[in-house]
Every structure is written in structure tokens, then in C-alpha cells.
Structure 1
Amino acid sequence: MAGRNSQLKVSLDQLRWTMSPDALPFESTAELEPLTEIIGQERGVQAFRFGIGMDKKGYNLFVTGEPGTGRMAMIRKLLAELNRHGEVPNDLCYVNNFKHSEEPLLLRLEAGKGNLFKKRMHEFTEGIKQEVPQLFESEEYIARKNELAEAHEKQVMGFYKAIEEKVKDTGLVMVRMQMGPLQRPDIVPLVDGEPKRLIQLEEMVENGRFPREEFERLREKRKELKEEIDHIVQEIKELHKAVGKKHEEVDRLMFMNLAEEILLPLRHEFQEEKVARFLDSVLENMVEHLDEIKTLGVPQKGPLPGMVMPGVSPEHILRPYAVNLLVDNSEQEGPPVIIESYPTYRNLFGSIERVMDRAGGWRTDFTKIKAGSFVKANGGYLVINLLDAIMEPGVWSTLKRSLKTEQIEIETYDPYYFITATGLKPERIGMNVKVVVLGDNRLWALLRHYDPDMHKIFKARVDFDTAMDRNDRVVEQLARFVRSEVEKREIRPFSSTAVAAVLEHLVRLSGRKEKLSAAFPRLADLLVESDYQAKMDNAETVEDRHVLQALDDAVYRANRVEERLQEMIDRGSLFVDVEGEVVGQINGLAVYSFGDYMFGKPSRITAVTSMGKDGIINIERESELSGPIHNKGMQILSGYLRSMFAQDKPLTLAASIAFEQAYGGIDGDSASSTELYALLSSLADVPLRQDIAVTGSVNQRGQIQPIGGVNEKIEGFFLCCKKSGLTGSQGVMIPKPNVKDLMLRHEVVEAIRQGQFNVWAVSSIDQGIELLTGRKAGKRTKAGYTKNSVFEMVDRKLRALAEGLREFGKSDDSSRTG
């Protein structure tokens, strides 16, 4: 059997892939050109180019892949590369809608003209503020007003003279009575050269101081003239209104001439149709509110003589004519690329702000409309982390709606909108934005399954891989990537030995010898940490020893739990034997993961068999500590036993299998072969070697299947053996397909080189049981399994259990009958 066991040993050259520094065509990365292209993501890059190039509706990009693979950096680089020659999108402005102030108007202007338009409109209002007071104090204005006033006065005097002619020599006289701002003519009696009101004259009649006949005559005469005088008074009123309108017309005419003169350069500069209509509405609105415009710069009289009030603020009067520059693309050289790191509703879709006025009420207007990243990216690209965005209230539904309709209406998202509604409904913005969202495969699958809109708006999936093929071209690119990071992070150059150490670590991270990890952020961290080690060593160049020291230090910072578990094994608190042989007992290997650190540790697995019909009892399952995949592995064991030993007899046994001293949940099937070895050992009553730890899953045909974490598992058992003393017979048995995944630490490889430790690779249960027991597994013949083989002993035991159970049943029936 010794010869057979040696054939199963993994050779030294298979334990670890090594990169010879001599194979690298440089001595230091200082000799290399920095990397500009993307490494090893041909599938993802091609899908990204496709999504960006498709200008049809719905081809937004959903980027999947594991975090830590540098997806964001790759997206930045690709967008910078693909976005060089695109057109700069328009500026967006909101202006007042004077007919419906709750519906502000949207203006689209060429890039750079939005800011200019805002500046020109400000200059226009400033011109109005400066010129209007001078206009209404000018000699021309005063002369025209005086001319109207004189003409009006002449007409009024003509009316008064007509009245005076009517009452001449009648004993009556015309008087002017002040009624508010107007003077109203009236007819009263003239007594002793003085005008008297009828009521006064009536009192004089009562007192005998004036003849009644004369009083009656005067009253009748006044009554005769009253209707004609009222008609004249009405004409005076109409004349006053007409003059007032002429005054207003003069004000409007002179203001319009002034405003048009100030506005003329702006009209020439901005000839867009919608802008022209807006400028017309500005002048119309100013004329309608000319009284307020005329107060610009004019102090208001206070309630007391000599008191002066400040008047209405010019900013308040002129605010309706301002321009809200929503998006300014004046500094853009191509389509905007916005990466929103905080994708809240407000940051993405903007808001309508409110301010509290002096009375304590909330107020808002079109100048309070603010754009979010989604609108600022219009005509370009918006990049967000979808998991962050989807957790924010209202974001996902608004994003979907905007991408489907290709429009957005800016509003303030507020669950208490019925209390804090703004009352504004801005004109919708037509959207032409390519959205790139980052998520993992699980989020992609969930949304595709539960959200029917997903396939309509994210038709381009970009899947970045976690690893890349290891070939000469990728190796050369990675070396240049190191050169780029050296320049970017201002660290020391890396020697060829250091780059070789980095490449070996990337192979280990990938989990496969033919691959290199694409975890570029972790690689960048390793480069910085290696530079730190070189700094502590006062070295001018980072060498391989600095890289290895950085890796060791990173492990030391993270392996506190691993050390505590090892201490418990060393002091005997956790039972793990690394020597001797025991029936029904074996060392399994488990992997523990703590975020950025993963390690392996052995765990004792035991099996106990007896007569019964319960079959294989999974103690972890009975105690609700077993996961579904582990339960499946246990069912496979039953299938294997039926296939191998129940073809000529019923499978009747009771067997319990347990992970000893396991107090947490257990899942996965990587220990299913280990459990089967323990079960076969218990049935055959053949001891298993305790200096061998086992990992590997098994199928119903007894084939050993590959598992994950093989390096960590080997290193975990090696550490246990090292603590108790390496004997040279100890080792780990792994599935043969996992040989291609081996990337063991230098310490383990060196121990194997010196014959202190071993790694065996098996492809079947037959090979594994022979290594663990030192006996032949056995082959099935017409007469049964090979004599004195493990399988023959198992078959004999199962037959004895079945016959014993049958005899026990007969005797039990006889005792009942008796």
C-alpha cells in the first residue's frame, strides 16, 4: 500500500505556481510605460462599449460583478475613452411663466449661453432699476405730463365757464367742492355776495331773515339747472378718466421705448423663438406692473410728516424677471459624466426649495428649483451604486418612470406633501441620459424576477469577472499596472522580484493556478503596504521580501480568531488528534470567513453505527444546525451505501454522524466524503489514521468532487500539526481536481519539500479509504467483495445487521405469541 500512497502524493511542482523574476523583461517598474488600457475584462469591456454605443431607448447599463474588482475605476476609464468626441448638451434654464406662475417655463440654450442669458437678463433689470427713476424725472416726461395737464385743465375750465354762463343773473352761483382727488361743481344760492347752501338758506327763512318766495324761486331754479349740470359733471369725469389713460399711455409708451432700447442687444444675441416670446412677456408684465416699477429707488412717505419708509425691495420687484440657470454646461468639453456617490432623491432628481417669509408662511417660486445629478447628466452619463439608490425612498420608482418616459418633472419628494406642498409644477424636461448602475448578480436576478420594468430600461448587462486568464500578455499588463500605481500613489518602484511576488499572490486570490485575481483595489492596497515595508527598511526599491512581509502583517492584523481557535486546540479544549488511529473518527476541515480574511481549521467528525431501521441520522440536522446543502450531502451518503451494499439485501442500520464540538450552523457538502470515511470505518470496525485530515465532497457513485478553500484547509491542518510537532506522516487528503487550485504558502511547501508534511489527491472513495486504513478498499466480484478488504468488512457487517434485525424481529414475535 505504501507504493499506492506515494502515487497519490501531490508533487512539489504542483503545490504552488511560482513566477520567476528572470521571466520578467525588466529589473524595476521604472523601466515600464504606465498602463492605460483595461486588463483582462474583454467580455465586460465589449458589453460596455455595446451599451454606450446603442442610442436606442432602454439601453441603459447594469454593471454586475463582485465588489472589490475595480468596477468603478474601469467605468471611469471607459467613459473617459468613449466620451471624447461627443457633443456638449444644452444649458437648461427656468424662467417665470407670467400667465401661469405655478408652471415655470423651461428654456434650452446652447452650452455656455445659459449663463450668458442669465447675466444679460440681470444687466437688463439693473438697467431698468437705474434708468426708470431718471426716465420719470426727465424734462421730456415732465413736459409731456404738463402738456396733458394743461390741456385737461383748459377743457375743465371750459366746462366750468359753461356752467357759470347758465347760472348768470339767476341768483345762483357755481362752487367747486373737493371730493377725494376730484373737484365737483355745484350750484348754490348767492346771498349778500356769499354762496349759501340750501340748508343754510332754509334756516334763514325759518328765522325770517330771508324771504320764502325768493327761497322757493332759487330752489326751483337750481332744480332746473341740476340735471344739466350733472350731465356736465359726468363729462368732466369722463374727461378725467381719459386724461388718466393718456397719462398711463404716456408712461407705458416712454417705458416701453426705454425698455426696448435696453433689451435690444439681448434680443439680437438670443434669437431663439421661445426666448423671444419670454422677452415679450417680460415687457408685457412690466407694463402691467408699471406702478411697482416706478417705485424703484423712490423712498415711500411714512405715516408721520418727514418720515421716510424704505419702500419695496428692488430685488423683490425684479425677481420675477430673473433667470434660474438649472444646468450650466459652459465648462463641459463633451457629454457630462456624473458619478453620484450619495444617490438620495434630492441629490438625484433635485428639489423645489422653500423659504419662510416675515409672516411665518412658506414661500417658493421658480428661482428655488434645483437640479439633481440626473438632470445635470442630461445628454451624457450618470453612474450610481444601485444598492445605495434603491434603499432611498422614491428613488427607484422615479428613476424607472423617468427612463421609460424620457422626461422628468422636478418636484420635492416628501411623505408629508399634503402639509408642505410647494404648489409649483415646472415644465417637464426631456431626458437623453445613459444611466450606468452598479450592483451584484443577486440584485440583478431579483430585479429581473420581481420588476417587469427591468428588461425595458436596463437592456445592456455588463458583467465584470473576478479573475482573468494568466498569460504573458496579462502578466505584462499587470506589471505596467504596478508602474501606473507607483506613479499615481507616489510610492517606490517595484523590482522584478517584488512584481513576481505580487503576481503569485494574485494567483492565490483567484483560487485557480491558471487565473489571476481582478481585485484591483486589493492589489493597490498591497502595493501601498509593501511600499510602507520598504520605507521601514530604508530601501529605495520595493523587493519581494517587502511584499511578503506586507502579506504576513495583513494576516497578523486579521487572524486573532484563528489564533484563539488554535490555542484551544493546543490546550485540549477542542479535540483534534494528529496522531494515532481511531475507529469511526476522522479529521474534517472547515473554512471560516471573516470578511477580508479566511482560514481553515480541522474539526473532529465521528460516526456510530448499530442495528436499526433509522438509517443515517444527521445530528446537526436534528439539532437544527445543518444547512440544506449539508443535508443533501448526508442523503448522498445513503445513496452511496445503497449502490454499493444494498443490491442483494436490505439496507437496515442506524448510524449517527456528528461534527464534534460544533456549536454554530454548518452548511456545505465539502465534508461529505469525510463523513463517509467515518461511517465506513465504524461499519468495518477498521481504524482511520488521525494524522490525515480530509476534505472533498462525494457523489452517489463514490467519486470525489472538488471543493473551495483548499489552500486554507491544508494550511489550517498544517498549523495544528506544526504546533504539536511535525512527524512526516501527517498531511491532508484533497480531491484530485483541486490540485490545479493549489497555491500554498511558502512555509507549507518547504515543509513538504523536507518530507515533514504531505498532500494527497484522490479521485474516489476507494483510494481515500485505502490511504486512511492501510487496507485495500476491495472490488466487487460474483462471490462478493475482495476478501479482508474494507468493503468486504462493511458488507459483512451490513448483512449481519440485516439478519440480526430479522432474527430479533422473529424472536420478538415469538415472545409476543407465547
Structure 2
Amino acid sequence: MGIKKIFPEDIKLQFTVDTPTYRVKPQPVFFGQERVENAFNIALKTEKEGYNLYVAGPEGIGKITYTKLKLHEAARKKKTPEDIFYHANFEEPQKPKFVSVPAGVGRKLAKDISRVIENLKETVVRQFESKEFEDERVRLIKKIEEEKSHILNQLKRDAESYGLATVVTPAGIQFIPIVQGKASPEFLRVPEIKAEFEKKVEMFDERFRDYMRQIRELDYQLFESLRELKEKVSRYVIDNAFYKIEEKYRYLKQVIQFLEYLKQHMSERIDIFIRWKMLEGDFLLQKAVEREIDIFRINVVVDNSRQEGAPVIYEQVPTFKTLFGYISYRAEMGILYADHMSIVAGSLFKARGGYIIFKIRDILKNPILWENLKRVIIHKKIYLSHYPVEEIFPFHVGIYPEPVPFNITVVLVGDSLMYQLLSMFDPDFNRLFKVKAEFDPVVELNETVIKKFPVLVKHIITQEKLKDVETDGLSELLRYAVELSGSRKKINTVFSHITDLLREADAICEEKFITGKTVKKVIKDRRFRLNLIEEKLRRMFAEGKLIVNIEGKKVAQVNGLSVIELGDFSFGKPSRITASSYIGEKGIINIEREVELSGPIHSKGVMILSGYVGHKYGKDTPLALSCSIAFEQSYGEVEGDSASAAELIAVLSSISEIPVRQEIAITGSIDQLGNIQPVGGIKEKVEGFYSVCKILGLNGKQRVIIPLRNFDNLVLDDEVIEAVEKGNFHIYTIDHIDDAIKLMTETDPLDFHRQVKEKLVEYYRQAIKGKK
């Protein structure tokens, strides 16, 4: 038989921590996360499309801390990414362009260009008011005027040969007749002279047009000469202003190309500086011109001058503005305007060449945000968002900045369920996030874990600014982490539970260091705050309102064990399971199922009972059995198969009429061959039955039977272990239903099965007899 009695030394946690936290240095520690480390290594070393990272695990396990630690390690080895600045696109003003320059250059270049602009505000006007400029301007005008005078003289002489005199008026050059050497408009009153005059004008018209073309050509030459003079002077002034900057950045081809582009268009718009100077003293008008001058400035949207290595950005509140950036519009006459200086970069711009971290739930709260993020990753371009201006304010003069290349490793942090849902329902997800790093919340407890535990706790208390912890306090904290794991050989790595314990211990600790006594009190107080429902149920057991027998023997009644989950707290509760068998053909009837209070797993467990009964007793004799089983005083849904062993004992006891010891409670599921299988909630179930026995009166005979394979899950409170040590309470493990039969009925399993068989044969005979 596989019956084993559990002794105190078997279930006591045999470990101690011998180094207090004030003797170690703080360091983040992550136990047993080799899979996570492997995932990060492959994601950070593979700079190919789609090798972004999804970090999965429960809250409080340290996903963000670990992620930032690994990313900063990798970022320090990478090159610092470039600065990015936007500048005006003079050909297409609505489409600003960007330039990337080495880290630190952007800010310096912006300051240098601003200094040049301030210098030009003063020097441009002085240059155009200089004697040299004015002399050259006068010379060009005088030269053209002389040529125009010469042409006009020729025109005059040529016209006189046709009997026409020229007169210059505000409306242009006009003709009057010459009669007998005299010119006068009065002659036009004579019809004969007027007719002759019109013929002469018509004859001279073609030559007159040639003269006018020559004069207009001279006017155009003057305009071009003055323009060229202005451009020459402008170029001269601007070249002088930019000379030192060009020398400073001559090693950067992209900067020199941009400066040449800027100089060209600045010289074409030199009048802006002249108007600014002429409006000096008129603040409002000068301010308006100042906005025009801003077209020559650059807008450094990404400044990596203080960045060492690649950037690592954790975007805690991702929105369209924080993620993609935005355009800062200004209102004029009811219309929103913007230019390249209105561009404000988001975290995607600033994370270029590095890493960015999001919590997946924060991103998915806005589906449009998620879709836009995927679009950026797919197309490898970062577009500046116009949302929500273009959606809610149609009257705007927008700009469409040139998109910036995307070269960022994106890290999403969430839970495993969200990863599965995205994998199933988002066709792009697995293509974009090829690497999953999943934290294990429960890992093996070994010497390395015990040795490094003080270092982990030191890291927590340093971050939280708490008191140091003595060795006995550390032992209790480690014990608590082991209890949370549900196994004596494992530890729960969701260390937010430890952090909460330390915060509360620090709050009530009156000593220099936190001790084991303080930690125990915190755990006890926490349980007290959470176990109101448990206490009410215990009181109902004491008052007899919830019925459970812990003495004597009864037929077809077994104490089963269940766990009640309340979200932040769970506890065990014994339940009476009864069976009633009689002649029939319905087999085993699950009353809970009949009233729709049985979950699918529980229903499956009951159906397995039918399989066991048929396998064990129905090979050579037809079964004529109906047997109903029920959880007494159960008014909610019953789920799980952990009571199937108890249900089988109740069914077999009902058939054989062999009584079952009531001081014993049992948990465990069975298969169709009678093997006992492990179940969950062992700690809560054992402690739950112990609590009820304590209320109703411990007599040293009460015991709990659990599956052999659940032995490692016996992580019990000190009170229960002490009761076991004193012989007031007992725990047994079994691996087959026959072991349970022997313990609970005090009958040899072979004899027990023989009696069951005899009863089933009798049922069949009675059934046949009844049919006759």
C-alpha cells in the first residue's frame, strides 16, 4: 500500500538565512529566469525586421525593472544616435524637411544660426545704406538714364522727319503736328491738318514701337542690374555672416549642404531683415516680422547632446502626443497655422537608435494608437501625427513634416493572456513581435536563491528607503515567499508581495532592524484584515449551522475539502459529501449537475467515477445501479475534480453500507483505474479542516488524507505543524483509492471490494426479479 504518515520533520521548512541585509550591497536579483534572459539576448542581438520583444508575466514580478536593466546594458554598448532638426522647405512650405546630424551638433547649430540671424538684423540695413551700395546704384541708374535719353533724342529727330513733335506726358510719349516749323496741338482743330497728322502717325507707328521696345529693354536692364546688385550685396553679407559657421562644420557634408540651401533662400528674402529694422520701435509690427524671420531658424526636435549610448525610454502614459509628437498650432483670424518651428517630437523620435518600452494595456486602451504604432513598425517611418486637430478642427493650415526613418526596438510589457489574445486575433502581432520573454512566477528553491535572497531584500529596502532586516526576519520573508509558491521546494518570484510586507513591517517596527517577530505580526495582521468571510463561516460551524461531523462513523458520508477564492484571499472549507444508492439503471447521478450547479471539470470527475465502478465491478456482472451524490449545504457552483476521491468513497460506502470514519477528511482526484492524482490548494484545505476541528474540538484522531504527489505542497502554518508534532492532528498521503478505503473504513480493501461486489450482484438480481 502507498499509505504514508507525515511527521513534523517531513514538513518543516529546513532553511535559514544567515546574513542580515545591512551586511550586503543592494542589487536587483531575478531567480530562475533563464528563458527570459535567452529571449532578451536574441532580441537585442538580432537587429532584423520583427525582432521586437513582448515581456510577459504577472504584475509585481519585476518585468519593467528587468527590462530597463537589460536594455540599459545593451544601450551603453551602442553608438549615440544623431540629433534631428526640421527646417523650412522653401519650395513646398507645407512639407518641412529634416536633417540628422551627430549627437550634440543640433543644439550648437541652432544657436549658431540664431546668432547669424541676430547679426543680419543689424548688418543688412547698414550694408544697403552704405555709400558704396548707393554709389553703385546711382551709377547703374545714371547709365540707363543716359542711354534712354539718347534713344529719346533719336526718337525726337526721327519723328520730326515725319512732321511730328514728341511730348513726354504722365501718360507716356505723345505726338503733335508740326506746321511751318511750329508744333502745337491747336493745329489738330483744322480737319485737313488733323487728317494729314493721323496718316503720319500711322506711318511712324512701327518705328515708334521699335523705340519703345528699346526703352522698355533699358528699364528691364535697370531692374535686373539693381536686382543683381541687391543679390550680390545680399550674398556678400550672408556669406560673411556664415563664414565662421561653415568653417566650423566643414567636416559635416549634410550641414554644409543645408547651410548652402539656407543661404540661397535667405538672400532671396533679404527684405525681411530690412523691414524688421525699419519697424524698430513698433513692437507689434516688428513682432509680426519676427515670425517671418523664424523661417530661417531650425527646430531641433531630438537633442542627444547629453545622451551616452542609445536611448532607453519607458513611456508610462502613451498618447498620440507623447508617442508621435504633435504640431503646436497658433490661431490667427480664426484659422490654425503652423510651420516647421511648430513641430514637437514624441518619444518615438527621441528613441531612435535605441529602445522604447510600453505596457500593452496602456497602448490597447486606444485602438487607433495601437494601429498607428504597428504602421510605424511595418513601414519603418515615423510620421508626425495630426490627431486630433484634423478630426475636430477642420479650419487649419496644416503641415506634413517629412517622415523620419524608424530604427527602434519596441518592448511591450504585459501578461501571458494578452499575448495569447493578440497572437490569435491580431494578424500583425506575431510578425512584429517575434520574441516572447515570459517570467516564471514560481522557480526552484536552491542554495543560490537562499544565498542571494538578502541581496534582493536589500535592493527593495534601498529603493523604498526602509529599515534593514535581521536574519530571522529574512527567514520569515523567505518562508512567506515559499508559502506563496505552494510548494516546499519552490519560491514565488512575484516580489511585490515581499515589498508590501516590508513596507508594513517598517511602519510598525519600533526597533532598529526588522525582525522575524515583526514579519510574523504583519502576516498575521494581513490575514486578519482579509479573513472576515472565513471567520463568519467558522462561526457557523461552531454554531452548528454548517454541519460537519468529525467523530464517529457514518455510512455514505465523507468529509471532502474545497477552496473558496475571494480574489485577494483564499481559504479551505470542509464539506459533507453524501451518496444514496439504489436499484436502477441511471448510474451515478450528479445532483449538482442536475440543478446546473456543477462546472464542467466537476462533471467530468463524476463521470470518471462511473468509469471506475464499471471497470472495477462490471466486467462479469451487469450493473443495475442508481446512485446520487451531492455536496450538502452547497448553494453555489461546484467546480474542479479534487473531491472525486471523496465522492467515490461515499458512493462505495453507500453501496456496501460500510461506515466511514468522520474524523478524516480527504482530497484528491482519481482516474478510472483508481489512482489518486494531485490537486490544488493543499495548504488551504489542510489548514481549513484543522481550523474546523479546532473549533469543534481536537481529539487527536482527526486527520487529512492528501495525494502522495502533493507532498511538496505541504507548506503549513506553524500552528498546524505544532499540532502534528503534539499528535493532535495527523496528515497522510496515499496514491490509490484502496489506501483511502483502508484508512477511512478500517476495512481491508479486498474485503471492502468483495462486499461492494456482492451488493451490486444483489442489486442486479433484484432488478431482474422485479422485471419478471
Deviation at 1:293, TM superposition (A): 4.9
Q: Does residue 261 of structure 1 match 2:240?
A: yes
Q: Does residue 463 of structure 1 match 2:446?
A: no
Q: Does residue 800 of structure 1 match 2:772?
A: no
After superposition, give the CA deviation of every residue in 1:640-697 in whole Å (9 maximum; x if it has no partner): 1111111111233222222233333332211111221222222222333333322111
Find the aligned partners of 1:124 and 1:590 in 2 and give their Cα distance: 81
Q: Determine if contact 2:327/2:338 at 8 Å carries over to the other structure.
A: yes
Question: Equivalent of 1:745, from 701, 705, 717?
Answer: 717
Q: Does residue 410 of structure 1 match 2:384?
A: yes
Question: Equivalent of 1:247, from 226, 229, 239?
Answer: 226
Partner SS, residue 357 of structure 1: strand
Find the aligned partners of 1:308 and 1:752 in 2 and give their Cα distance: 91
Deviation at 1:569, TM superposition (A): 3.4
2:359 aligned residue: 385
Deviation at 1:249, TM superposition (A): 1.3
Deviation at 1:405, TM superposition (A): 4.4
Q: Does residue 480 of structure 1 match 2:455?
A: yes
After superposition, give the CA deviation of every residue in 1:394-434 in whole Å (9 maximum; x if it has no partner): 34444444444444333345697597598654433333322
Question: Equivalent of 2:315, from 301, 317, 340?
Answer: 340
Q: Determine if contact 1:619/1:657 at 8 Å carries over to the other structure.
A: yes
Find the aligned partners of 1:676 and 1:162 in 2 and give their Cα distance: 132
Gap change, CA 1:102 and 1:18, over 3 Å in 2:
same
- Range that drifts further, 494-503 or 427-436: 427-436
Find the aligned partners of 2:331 and 2:177 in 1 and give their Cα distance: 59
Partner SS, residue 89 of structure 1: coil
Question: Equivalent of 1:551, from 502, 523, 529?
Answer: 523
Deviation at 1:466, TM superposition (A): 1.3
Deviation at 1:493, TM superposition (A): 1.9
Q: What letter corresponds to residue 313 of structure 1 in structure 2?
A: A
Gap change, CA 1:49 and 1:581, over 3 Å in 2:
same
Q: What letter corresponds to residue 797 of structure 1 in structure 2?
A: K
Q: Determine if contact 1:346/1:412 at 8 Å carries over to the other structure.
A: no
2:300 aligned residue: 325
Gap change, CA 1:357 and 1:414, over 3 Å in 2:
closer
Find the aligned partners of 2:313 and 2:64 in 1 and give their Cα distance: 12
Gap change, CA 1:339 and 1:235, over 3 Å in 2:
same
- Range that drifts further, 259-268 or 35-44: 35-44
Q: Does residue 148 of structure 1 match 2:128?
A: no
Question: Equivalent of 2:10, from 14, 29, 41?
Answer: 14
Find the aligned partners of 1:415 and 1:16 in 2 and give their Cα distance: 66
Find the aligned partners of 2:195 and 2:386 in 1 and give their Cα distance: 78
Question: Equivalent of 1:313, from 271, 288, 311?
Answer: 288
Find the aligned partners of 1:308 and 1:526 in 2 and give their Cα distance: 64
Find the aligned partners of 1:424 and 1:621 in 2 and give their Cα distance: 66
Deviation at 1:163, TM superposition (A): 4.3
Question: Equivalent of 1:273, from 253, 256, 280?
Answer: 253
Deviation at 1:226, TM superposition (A): 5.2
Q: Does residue 375 of structure 1 match 2:349?
A: yes
Partner SS, residue 606 of structure 1: strand
After superposition, give the CA deviation of every residue in 1:349-403 in whole Å (9 maximum; x if it has no partner): x144252532323333333343332332221122222233234323444444444
Unmatched segments (≥5 aa) in structure 2? none
Find the aligned partners of 2:309 and 2:284 in 1 and give their Cα distance: 52
Q: TM-score normalised to the size of structure 2?
A: 0.91
Find the aligned partners of 2:725 and 2:645 in 1 and give their Cα distance: 27
1:299 aligned residue: 279
Q: Determine if contact 2:348/2:382 at 8 Å carries over to the other structure.
A: no
- Range that drifts further, 731-740 or 91-100: 91-100
After superposition, give the CA deviation of every residue in 1:673-723 in whole Å (9 maximum; x if it has no partner): 122122222222233333332211111111111111111111122222222
2:264 aligned residue: 284
Deviation at 1:478, TM superposition (A): 0.4
After superposition, give the CA deviation of every residue in 1:286-309 in whole Å (9 maximum; x if it has no partner): 3444444542333399xxxxx998
Question: Equivalent of 1:689, from 661, 671, 688?
Answer: 661
Deviation at 1:82, TM superposition (A): 3.6
Deviation at 1:11, TM superposition (A): 0.7
Deviation at 1:546, TM superposition (A): 0.1
2:149 aligned residue: 157
1:30 aligned residue: 22
Gap change, CA 1:150 and 1:674, over 3 Å in 2:
same
- Range that drifts further, 162-171 or 246-255: 162-171
Q: What letter corresponds to residue 211 of structure 2 in structure 1?
A: I
2:120 aligned residue: 128
2:483 aligned residue: 508
Deviation at 1:745, TM superposition (A): 0.9
RMSD across aligned positions (CA): 3.2
Find the aligned partners of 1:265 and 1:662 in 2 and give their Cα distance: 89
Find the aligned partners of 1:606 and 1:364 in 2 and give their Cα distance: 79
Gap change, CA 1:325 and 1:727, over 3 Å in 2:
same
The count of corresponding residues between Structure 1 and Structure 2 is 770
Find the aligned partners of 2:526 and 2:122 in 1 and give their Cα distance: 70
Q: What letter corresponds to residue 768 of structure 2 in structure 1?
A: R
Q: Determine if contact 1:64/1:444 at 8 Å carries over to the other structure.
A: yes
Question: Equivalent of 2:684, from 700, 703, 712?
Answer: 712
Q: What letter corresponds to residue 278 of structure 2 in structure 1?
A: V
Q: What letter corresponds to residue 12 of structure 2 in structure 1?
A: R
Q: What letter corresponds to residue 728 of structure 2 in structure 1?
A: Q
Q: Determine if contact 2:574/2:665 at 8 Å carries over to the other structure.
A: yes
Deviation at 1:443, TM superposition (A): 3.1
Partner SS, residue 170 of structure 2: strand
Question: Equivalent of 1:676, from 648, 652, 656?
Answer: 648
Q: Does residue 186 of structure 1 match 2:174?
A: yes
Partner SS, residue 731 of structure 2: strand
Trace 1:321-720 onto structure 2 (pairs within 5 A).
Answer: 321-348=296-323, 350-353=324-327, 355-412=329-386, 424-451=399-426, 453-534=428-509, 538-720=510-692
Q: Determine if contact 1:293/1:317 at 8 Å carries over to the other structure.
A: no
Q: What letter corresponds to residue 5 of structure 2 in structure 1?
A: K
Q: TM-score normalised to the size of structure 1?
A: 0.86
Q: Determine if contact 2:95/2:399 at 8 Å carries over to the other structure.
A: yes
Q: Does residue 732 of structure 1 match 2:704?
A: yes
Q: Determine if contact 1:286/1:293 at 8 Å carries over to the other structure.
A: no
Deviation at 1:239, TM superposition (A): 1.6
Deviation at 1:112, TM superposition (A): 1.0
1:816 aligned residue: none
Find the aligned partners of 1:118 and 1:43 in 2 and give their Cα distance: 47
1:86 aligned residue: 78
Q: What letter corresponds to residue 539 of structure 1 in structure 2?
A: E
Find the aligned partners of 1:322 and 1:808 in 2 and give their Cα distance: 105
Gap change, CA 1:297 and 1:15, over 3 Å in 2:
same
Q: Determine if contact 2:272/2:293 at 8 Å carries over to the other structure.
A: no
Q: What letter corresponds to residue 514 of structure 1 in structure 2?
A: K
Unmatched segments (≥5 aa) in structure 1? 206-210, 302-306, 780-785, 811-818
Gap change, CA 1:33 and 1:354, over 3 Å in 2:
closer
Trace 1:109-128 onto structure 2 (pairs within 5 A).
Answer: 109-128=101-120
Find the aligned partners of 1:661 and 1:95 in 2 and give their Cα distance: 77
1:813 aligned residue: none
Gap change, CA 1:369 and 1:397, over 3 Å in 2:
same
Find the aligned partners of 1:376 and 1:120 in 2 and give their Cα distance: 23
- Residue identity over aligned pairs, in percent, reads 32
After superposition, give the CA deviation of every residue in 1:412-459 in whole Å (9 maximum; x if it has no partner): 456975975986544333333222222333333344445554444333
Q: Does residue 770 of structure 1 match 2:742?
A: yes
Find the aligned partners of 1:309 and 1:394 in 2 and give their Cα distance: 42
Partner SS, residue 759 of structure 1: strand
- Range that drifts further, 186-195 or 469-478: 186-195
